[in-house]
A and B are shown apart, each in its own frame.
Chain A
Amino acid sequence: MSTASNNVLNCPNCGKSLSDLPEMLPAVERCPACERQTRVVVFPAFSRPVVKGATAEAVMMEGEATCFYHAKKRAQVPCDECGRFLCAVCDLEVNGRHLCPQCLETGAKKGKVQSLERGRFRWDQVISTLLVLPLISCGFLLPLTSLAALVLVVWKWKSPPSLVHNTRLSLIVCGVLALIEFIGGCAFWWFMLFGSRRY
């Protein structure tokens, strides 16, 4: 365990240190360099030493369980996902679960570990654009764009929904609108191609 600590807080504007004494940080009212009015709230983690990661222990006796990834290191815990034995270096604790690097990577890619998820693509917004944009720019493309929107609604129905918006409801509304636009667009073209000959 390392006892190194990083007790310097720099001004986000000018990059200079806000105070030479960490104890005086809560009393800072202005940046000493750029003189911007500043309020600093410091938490206990600020003065805590930086803890270095654990190091794996070497195998001492023959027949001892070893890490799946490091044959010379002693196994400490099994992976909660795949069951492989892991040393202290390979043991990655996420939300109270012990995972191996491979399971963590797979979980992050598939979105199984929500705390590792960094973003999602909003397909419902794409479909909305497909439905609205042709209406104001190129109406004659309506059958094509609405068909594309309909296909996307079905195709992306099971994709991970937004965390803050009701994606399913948006997709339903978009699907209904796409159907109306498709019928309307087809009727328009039908009239333009065949209907006009009668009159």
Chain B
Amino acid sequence: MEFVKPVLEFDKVCVSYTKQTMAVKYVSAAIERNSITAIMGPSGCGKSTLLRAANLMHNLYPNIHVNGDILLNGENIFQMHPIDVRRRIGMVFQRPAPFPTMSIYENVLAGFTLNGINLSKSEKEEVVENCLKSVSLWNEVKDVLNKKGTFLSGGQQQRLCIARALALKPEVLLMDEPTSALDPIASKHIEELLLQLKKDVTILIVTHNMGQARRISDHSMFMYLGELVEYDNTLKMFENPFDERTKAYLTGKMG
């Protein structure tokens, strides 16, 4: 798909865990600004691997090799410092991971603490309130800000993690199956939240749940065995898939 000024572009991205096999094979795709793009596919198709390449998570594991280019607003992220990339491309993980020793308040500000940025007390309060409001968590936790993040329910913890990622005002938010560990009500909350958030941030979400992709995403990618099989407007892809494999996956003939 072509966009006038894509925020993120994958250009022939390959990721390999071993020399023999590639987990992601020559994926090229441009991501539209202020949209939600879903990456779908069966387990092991490379969707999380592709997502994690976008904020240089693979750098942590020396045995993983990434080739190709990923551009953030036209700038190659492989030539940028990982700290800078990760501040501009935030990430939310599958399992809610609030820092267990930090309070809810400290968790929201963790991005600043970890970057060594000192804020005044009023700035801190403003950031915490705004971020928690943007994930609709403020009313639920405003009286217990000093309790540990792990005190919250799973859905609340995940919203706290989203708030923590949003606090640094990233341009892109990567989400790796953020609702797969949550109950349906908490998942619905997060889905509604993402629709609101796309006004300010571009969201790239990996999901196992086809219904979720259809409900919230503007564009969808279908990956299979490391290849990007199809990338299109979500409605178009669900109603009239171009590739037989996509069709087989969407109709449940292949999982």
A interacts with B: no
